[in-house]
Structure 1
Amino acid sequence: MATLLAIFVSCAAWAEETKSKEVTPRTQAGIEAATRLQVFLDRAEFAPGKIDGRYGEFTVKALQLFRQSHGEEMKQPEKPDGAPDVSGLDLASVEPLFTDYTVVEADLKGLGAVPESVPAQAKLKALSYETAAELIAEKFHMDVDFLGELNPGKTKDIKVGDKLRVVNVEPFDLGAVKDLKPGSELGANDIEDEGKGKDEPVTTKTAVKVDTKSNMLSVLEDGKLIAAYPVTIGSEQTESPVGDWKVRGVAKMPNFRYDKKMLSKGERSDQFHMLKPGPNNPVGVVWIALNKKGIGLHGTNSPDAIGRSASHGCVRLANWDVVRLAAKVKAGVPVAIH
């Protein structure tokens, strides 16, 4: 852990230092190089966050953790959004970098506006994607604006049969979430019930560690770092619970009980709204319950916000990342939040 801590401190110092430096102008070659690195890291499950063709903070953190997992060190880039050292990486394996995706009828089914007010949301049968561009961007782990950059003039009115240029990653399939095989499964309504789920001994050596300063979650197997994902942690008002916890189970496509008092003060009330499942549910498509009431690792309806302190005490990941995390854990797996 000393090495991990050193990496996180180094990243934090670099981010602070580079705030006042001039950002490197973007070129087509630079965009493709940054995208290639992001796709390489995403495939390795050292996730850089939403893929946007930039050498951002989480791309650098993911690269450092990837190198650390291979016993290597990395120097910080001299400029924000500047190219890091990629020597020794098999970036040639990311070929082709981009691929064409043909829009199918299923992509356009079930789309619908999501109102801002929670009472109005509670009246909906599902909290679905609002636009086809949002769906396709999430399917390919992309920033929706970057999808627009790659497809100028094509993302405002997407139709069946349209071909869109996307990055070459393993697609996130919303329909396949129901087929996810976590070690221990909870029902859609069980995410806040502390007593449910199995309290069984750990039969694997998997461990999850969340660093609240770096906003990175690491997965270890037999003490070896095998994956890392950027996260959003609790805000100053509702901080994530520092301590050592355990996974109780995994709920797929969960409902969310929106209780303002519970979210702000940690106290359950009888004034609440039940929000139906969907990618635009506040807890996303997967809830990994911890053995602390109302606290879990979960997805999000706002991948753009990953990395900011905005969650209500929980730990939030992009939907495509939380699904990958859920496949690695089961009841009893330790989760350290520090």
Structure 2
Amino acid sequence: MKFITIIPCLLLVAGCNAPDQDRSGEPPTTAEAADADSLRFADADTDAAPFAAPPVFRAQVRLDRLGFSPGVIDGKEGESYVAALRGFQNARGLEESGELDPATERALQEGGEAPAMRMVVIPAGFAKGPFVPAFPKDAADQAKLPALGYRNLTEALAERFHTTPEVLVALNSPSTLVGAGRPFRVPNIPDVDVPVMGEDPRGWNGTLERLGVAPKQIAAAKIVVDKSEGVLKVYDEADKLVAQFPATMGSRHDPLPIGTWKIKGVSRNPDFHYNPELFWDVSDSKEAVVLQPGPNSPVGVVWIDLNKPHYGIHGTSEPHTIGRAESHGCVRLTNWDAARVAQMVKPGTPAIFQN
């Protein structure tokens, strides 16, 4: 997506620990989940029958937790899943088959095997929103909203657990009630340590927690956006592949700008200055407007600015389209993957865009 102006540009405080998102300490209690402001998902005390996760679903959860994102966790053997397997295999020195062979399965269990699903209690703080049930399609109407929030709790839960509302319905049932204090089956994307990043005027700490993204991530020495593979790769100082994320990049109208660029800065929960004149598929008669921050912003929850004018790396309001649609030239990731990349890069990080 071509970019007009996003404000403000908040600089990154990078961490450098391993990127797995397991939180330390004991899991939250049911009482903690019932707290009015809690975003912590306690284990549910329920008699619900176990749900056996198929191998692909299990692998997707582990890949996500280890930093090799399959995009949305849906149990399907799509292109993003195969790319995630190849990236993980490359990073572990395995044959890059793109298949869930025995050696890859063993490597995915490093650090101990965890169940692919959890029954959780929906915390009160998470359930209270605010939500925007009648989310408008037109930018002029979106500009009237105080924030571009989720449409409903199910959509918010889907982003928190890196999946889709449709998958959540399948894991539970169409009749399952969704609300504070209710048990709910989700992919096992764990709670993270409560983010505390100093001054936080844009609410980034809460955004990370609501997306299940740890504030401390391994530091990127460079990122590579590979058009042929449809992924964004993260390398460390030893030039080792340490993370990978599926991406939507460019179109015939706005091709990916091939070349070596640099990260200028990171805007978290940014405003979006929407200028129809910069979009080939929008009438120039439309009015330019400013859209408030939120996960359903056209750039999602974060904008990573490049030294190529009007281009950047950002999130999306439609995670299921990543790798399956075109962009307006920029690199688009799911909100949870974009947030993770934002915690890895800093101003000056090289960004190599290649065919």
- TM-score range (shorter-chain normalised) is 0.7 to 0.9
Unaligned runs of 5+ in 1: 1-27, 78-82, 189-203
**Matches of 1:75 and 1:37, distance apart in 2:** 15
> For residues 172 and 290 of structure 1, do their structure 2 counterparts lie closer, same or farther at Cα, with a shift above 3 Å needed?
farther
Partner of 1:14: none
Q: State the 1:205 CA deviation.
A: 6.8
Partner of 1:206: 221
> For residues 52 and 180 of structure 1, do their structure 2 counterparts lie closer, same or farther at Cα, with a shift above 3 Å needed?
farther
**Matches of 1:287 and 1:115, distance apart in 2:** 22
Q: State the 1:137 CA deviation.
A: 0.7
> For residues 180 and 261 of structure 1, do their structure 2 counterparts lie closer, same or farther at Cα, with a shift above 3 Å needed?
farther
Partner of 1:217: 232
Q: Is the 8 A contact 2:85 2:98 kept in 1?
A: no
**Matches of 1:90 and 1:258, distance apart in 2:** 42
How far does the alpha carbon of each residue in 1:35-81 deviate from its partner, in whole angstroms, 9 at most, with x for none?
A: 1101111111011110001222111111111111122213355xxxx
Between stretches 249-258 and 49-58, larger displacement belongs to 49-58
Partner of 1:102: 121
Partner of 1:169: 189
Partner of 2:163: 142
Q: State the 1:159 CA deviation.
A: 2.0
How far does the alpha carbon of each residue in 1:247-277 deviate from its partner, in whole angstroms, 9 at most, with x for none?
A: 0000010011111112339xx9995111110
Q: State the 1:242 CA deviation.
A: 1.3
**Could you tell me which amino acid in structure 2 is paired with residue 158 of structure 1?**
V
> For residues 149 and 309 of structure 1, do their structure 2 counterparts lie closer, same or farther at Cα, with a shift above 3 Å needed?
closer
> For residues 298 and 90 of structure 1, do their structure 2 counterparts lie closer, same or farther at Cα, with a shift above 3 Å needed?
closer
TM-score with structure 1 setting the length: 0.76
From 43, 63, 67, give the equivalent of 1:45. Answer: 67
Q: Is the 8 A contact 2:63 2:108 kept in 1?
A: no
Q: State the 1:235 CA deviation.
A: 1.8
**Matches of 2:234 and 2:248, distance apart in 1:** 16
Partner of 1:11: none
> Comparing both chains, which one has the higher relative contact order based on Cα–Cα distances under 8 Å and sequence gaps of 6 or more?
2
Is residue 151 from structure 1 mapped to residue 172 from structure 2 by the alignment?
Answer: yes
Between stretches 233-242 and 316-325, larger displacement belongs to 233-242
Partner of 2:211: none
Partner of 1:61: 83
Is residue 277 from structure 1 mapped to residue 321 from structure 2 by the alignment?
Answer: no
Q: Is the 8 A contact 1:129 1:279 kept in 2?
A: yes
Partner of 1:295: 311
From 266, 269, 290, give the equivalent of 1:250. Answer: 266
Q: State the 1:243 CA deviation.
A: 1.2
**Matches of 2:257 and 2:291, distance apart in 1:** 24
Partner of 1:25: none
Q: State the 1:221 CA deviation.
A: 0.7
**Could you tell me which amino acid in structure 2 is paired with residue 91 of structure 1?**
Q
Q: Is the 8 A contact 1:138 1:172 kept in 2?
A: no
Q: State the 1:90 CA deviation.
A: 4.1
> For residues 186 and 314 of structure 1, do their structure 2 counterparts lie closer, same or farther at Cα, with a shift above 3 Å needed?
farther
**Could you tell me which amino acid in structure 1 is paired with residue 157 of structure 2?**
I
Q: State the Cα RMSD in Å.
A: 2.8
Query: What secondary structure is seen at the aligned counterpart in 1 of 2:155?
Result: helix
Query: What secondary structure is seen at the aligned counterpart in 2 of 1:89?
Result: helix
> For residues 71 and 186 of structure 1, do their structure 2 counterparts lie closer, same or farther at Cα, with a shift above 3 Å needed?
farther
> For residues 172 and 134 of structure 1, do their structure 2 counterparts lie closer, same or farther at Cα, with a shift above 3 Å needed?
farther
**Matches of 2:349 and 2:98, distance apart in 1:** 33
Is residue 89 from structure 1 mapped to residue 124 from structure 2 by the alignment?
Answer: no
Superposed, which structure 2 residues align to 1:2-13 within 5 Å? none
Partner of 2:152: 131
Partner of 1:241: 257
**Could you tell me which amino acid in structure 2 is paired with residue 294 of structure 1?**
H
**Could you tell me which amino acid in structure 2 is paired with residue 60 of structure 1?**
V
Aligned residue pairs: how many?
281
Q: Is the 8 A contact 2:118 2:186 kept in 1?
A: yes
**Could you tell me which amino acid in structure 2 is paired with residue 163 of structure 1?**
P
Q: Is the 8 A contact 2:220 2:234 kept in 1?
A: no
Q: Which has the higher helix share?
A: 1
Unaligned runs of 5+ in 2: 1-50, 204-218
Query: What secondary structure is seen at the aligned counterpart in 1 of 2:185?
Result: strand
Q: State the 1:286 CA deviation.
A: 0.8
**Matches of 2:101 and 2:123, distance apart in 1:** 38
TM-score with structure 2 setting the length: 0.72
Is residue 331 from structure 1 mapped to residue 347 from structure 2 by the alignment?
Answer: yes
From 59, 63, 70, give the equivalent of 2:92. Answer: 70
Query: What secondary structure is seen at the aligned counterpart in 1 of 2:248?
Result: coil
**Could you tell me which amino acid in structure 2 is paired with residue 66 of structure 1?**
F
Query: What secondary structure is seen at the aligned counterpart in 2 of 1:141?
Result: coil
Partner of 1:230: 246
> For residues 95 and 76 of structure 1, do their structure 2 counterparts lie closer, same or farther at Cα, with a shift above 3 Å needed?
closer
